[in-house]
Chain A
Amino acid sequence: MESRKSAKKAPQKDKPARNGKLTLCGTTFSVLPLYLFTLAFVLAPLIYMFVLSFMQRGGSWGVEMSLSFDNYLRITEPVYLGTFTESIKLALLCTLFVALLGYPFGYFMARLSPLWRQRVMLLLIVPFWTSSLMRLYGWIIFFRANGTLDHALMGIGLTQGPLRLLYSYPAVVTGMVYALLPFMAYSVYASAEKLDRSLVEASRNLGASALRAFFSVSFPLTMPGLFSGIVLTFIPSMGLFFIADILGGSKVVLVGNLIQEQLMRAHDWPFAAALSVCLMALTSIFLFLYSRLTRALGSGGELEGLV
C-alpha cells in the first residue's frame, strides 16, 4: 500500500521539482568540485591562519595554544604601524605611476591595427616566460653602482660618479611599476578594445574637440578597465616583498617583508599570521571602498571581470 501511494504521488511532485529543485541539484553537482577546491585550498588555510593569529610563539618552531589578542596589540606598536603606512604609501605611489603609464599604453594598443596589436601583446607577454626573479636581477645590473644606468648617464656627461641608485626607494618603485604595468595595460586594453568608435565619432560630430571627446566619452567608458587595473596593481604592490628585498636592500620594509621576516627569521608564526590578517582586512576595506566609489561614479560597481 505504502509504496503504491508514493508511486502515485511521485509524478505530481516531480513536475514542479523539475523546474526548481532538480535543476538546482544539477548546478550544485556541477559546481561541487569548485566548492571543494575552494574549501580545501582557500577557506581552510584562511581559518587556520586566523586561528593561528591568536596563539603565541612557542619553543624554536612551535606554537603555544594560549589564545589572546597580544599579536594584534603588538601590531599597534609604532614600528609595525609605520610599516603599514609605509606600505600603503608605496602602493599608492606605484599604482599612480602604473596608471599613468599603463592607461595610455592599453588605450593606444586597442587603437593599433590587428597585426600590430598582436605584436605588442606578445611583447607584453614575453617577459612572463622567464622567472620574475631573473628579471629583477636584470634591474640590479641596470641600477647598481657603475651599472648600465650609471654608464649611460656618465657617458653623456650628465653625472660624474656612480649614483648608487640600487637599494633605494626609487629603485623599488621602478621594479614594482615594471612588474605590475602589464596588468594595468592589459585591463585597460580589454576595456578600450570594446569601446565603440562610432561613439567617439558621434561626439566629434556633435562639436567636441578630440580632447573633449576623449574626456567625455572614451575615458568614462574605459574607466572600468582602469579601475580593475588599479585593483590589480594596488593589492599586489602591498605584498611584493621580494622586489623590496632585492632592489631595496633592507632600506624599504613593506608589510610583505615584515611577514616574511617573522616567518623565516623570527619563526613567530602567530605574529606573521596576525600581520597577514591585518593586510587582508586592509585590502578588503580598500576593495569595499573602491566598489562603493566606482558605483557612485556610475560604472555599476563591476570591476571588469574582477571581484
Chain B
Amino acid sequence: MSAAELLRLEEITKRFGTTPVLRGVSLSVNAGEFITLLGGSGCGKTTTLRIIAGLEKADSGRVFIAGEEVTHKPPNERNIPMVFQNYALFPHMNVGENIGYSLKLKKRPKKEIRKAVGEALALVRLSGYEHRRPSELSGGQKQRVAMARAIAGRPQAMLLDEPLGALDLQLRREMQLELKRLQEQLGITFIYITHDQEEALTMSDRIAVMREGLFEQLGSASEIYDRPRTAFVARFVGNANILSGAVVDRKPLPEGGECIVFQHPAGRERLLCPAGASCAKAGPSYEQGQKITLAVRSEYMELSPAGKDSSGEDRGLAATVTGKSFAGGQLRITALLKGGGEVTASRHGIDSPLKIGQAVRVSWKCESHAVPVED
C-alpha cells in the first residue's frame, strides 16, 4: 500500500477564528486513484484541498506528497496543480499562454512549451484555441482550458474543486465522462470535490463523505452506497429513509449471521444480517431489546395496501400515503408512519394504484435491504 501511496494527510486540523473547520482529517491516496470528497456546503472540502495545495496552513497535522513531507512548503514547491471552482484563468493571457504558464516558469524551451500546449489542448478537445482570450470562451470551454492548464506539466496528482459546479446538467454529464477518461488515460491521481452524490458515485474509485470537518466514511462507491456506516451517510448518499427502533427477536442463520426482527412504533419487520456484512461487524450479535437504527433506500421501500401479506403474516410498518410526485422517470410516494416520521418510496412508472390518504403497510423488498447504521 505505502509503495504506491502518493498523498497522505495526518490528523489535519484547522480553525478560522474560533470555529473549527477541520477536526482531524486523515487520508491516504494511492497513485492513479480517483478520490472524491463529498459533503454538504461548509463541511471543509475546499479547506482540505487548499491545505494540500499549500494555499492554507493547517493548525496541526502533516501533509505528505510522494513520500515527502510538504507541510511547511510554499505552494509553488508542491507541484500539485489545482482546478479552481471559478477556473481562475489569467485574463491577460491567451489560452496558449495560460496552459503554458507552469512550463514557462520552469524555463522550458519555447518549442517544447508549444508542443505541450498543443497536446494538452488536444486532450481536452480544444485544438486550435491557443490564441483565444479566456473572455472569448464559453463556460465549458473555460473548464477545459483550466483542465489543460493543470495537466500541461504532467503532474502526478491534481486537485479539482467542484470543477463542473458551474455547468448545466447536460454539459456536466458529458464532462464527467470526459474527466474520467482523461484521468484514466493519463494515470493522474485526482482529488476531486463535489457535493453531487451522483457525480461522486459515477466517477470515483473511493469516496470520503465529509461532515463538519471530519470524514464520516471513506470507502469505495459501492461500500458507501450499499453499506453506509452512519445515518448521515445513508441520507446524504442516496436519500435513504432512517428508521429507529429496537431488536425484539433474533435467530442465527444456518450460513452464519442472523435474522433480526425489528420493532418500530408503527410495526415490526424482519431484516437479515449475513455473516461478514457491516451490520454483523458492528457487534458479534444483537441483544434482545437493543436499540437499532436502520437505513433503507427509497427504491427498496415497498408500500402495499394495509392488511396481511400473501403468506398471511401481519408484518410491516403501518402508515398513510401523504403524497405522490413524478420526477426524473420515477414516482415518489411519501407516507406518514403511525406515531410520526415520514418515509419515501420510489419506483419506476408514472402512477401507482395507491391513493393519497390510503392506509398502507411499509416494508422492504428484500430482507437484506435494511442496513443497520450508527446514529
Residue A96 is within 8 A (CB to CB) of chain B in the complex = no
CB of A288 to closest CB in B, whole Å: 23
Please judge, given known A-B contacts A202-B82, A206-B149, A208-B105, whether A298 and B76 are in contact too, CB under 8 Å.
no
Residue B53 is within 8 A (CB to CB) of chain A in the complex = yes
Mark the stretch among A35-43, A113-121, A193-201, A267-275 that contacts chain B.
A193-201
Contacts of B53 in A (CB 8 A): 205
Please judge, given known A-B contacts A202-B82, A205-B75, A206-B149, whether A221 and B91 are in contact too, CB under 8 Å.
yes
* B91 A207 Cβ-Cβ under 8 A: no
Residue A220 is within 8 A (CB to CB) of chain B in the complex = yes
Contacts of B88 in A (CB 8 A): 196, 198-199, 201-202
* A198 B84 Cβ-Cβ under 8 A: yes
Contacts of A210 in B (CB 8 A): 74
* A206 B91 Cβ-Cβ under 8 A: no
Nearest-neighbor residue (CB-CB) of A298 within chain B: B92
Contact sample, A vs B, 8 pairs, CB 8 Å cutoff: A201-B84, A206-B101, A206-B102, A207-B79, A207-B106, A209-B74, A221-B91, A298-B92
Contacts of A205 in B (CB 8 A): 53-55, 75-76, 80-82
Q: Which of B76, B86, B90 contacts A204 (CB 8 A)?
A: B76
Chain B residues near A (Cβ < 8 Å): 53-55, 74-76, 79-82, 84, 86, 88, 90-92, 101-102, 105-106, 149, 153
Residue A251 is within 8 A (CB to CB) of chain B in the complex = no
CB of A194 to closest CB in B, whole Å: 11
* A209 B76 Cβ-Cβ under 8 A: yes
Contacts of A201 in B (CB 8 A): 55, 75, 84, 88
Nearest-neighbor residue (CB-CB) of B75 within chain A: A204
A205 to B80, CA, bound (A): 7
Q: Which of A212, A220, A221 contacts B105 (CB 8 A)?
A: A212
Residue A278 is within 8 A (CB to CB) of chain B in the complex = no
Residue A203 is within 8 A (CB to CB) of chain B in the complex = yes
CB of B135 to closest CB in A, whole Å: 11
Contacts of B101 in A (CB 8 A): 203, 206, 216
Contacts of B74 in A (CB 8 A): 204, 209-210
Which applies to chain A's interface (DSSP): helix, strand, loop or mixed?
A: helix
Residue A217 is within 8 A (CB to CB) of chain B in the complex = yes
Contacts of A209 in B (CB 8 A): 74, 76
Contact with B along A161-194 (1 / 0, CB 8 A): 0000000000000000000000000000000000
Nearest-neighbor residue (CB-CB) of A299 within chain B: B92
Nearest-neighbor residue (CB-CB) of B105 within chain A: A207
A204 to B102, CA, bound (A): 10
A217 to B81, CA, bound (A): 17
A217 to B93, CA, bound (A): 9
A199 to B90, CA, bound (A): 6
**A205-B82, A206-B149, A206-B153 provided; 17 other pairs, C-beta below 8 A?**
A196-B86, A196-B88, A198-B86, A199-B88, A201-B88, A202-B82, A202-B88, A202-B90, A205-B54, A205-B55, A206-B102, A206-B105, A207-B102, A207-B105, A208-B105, A209-B74, A298-B92
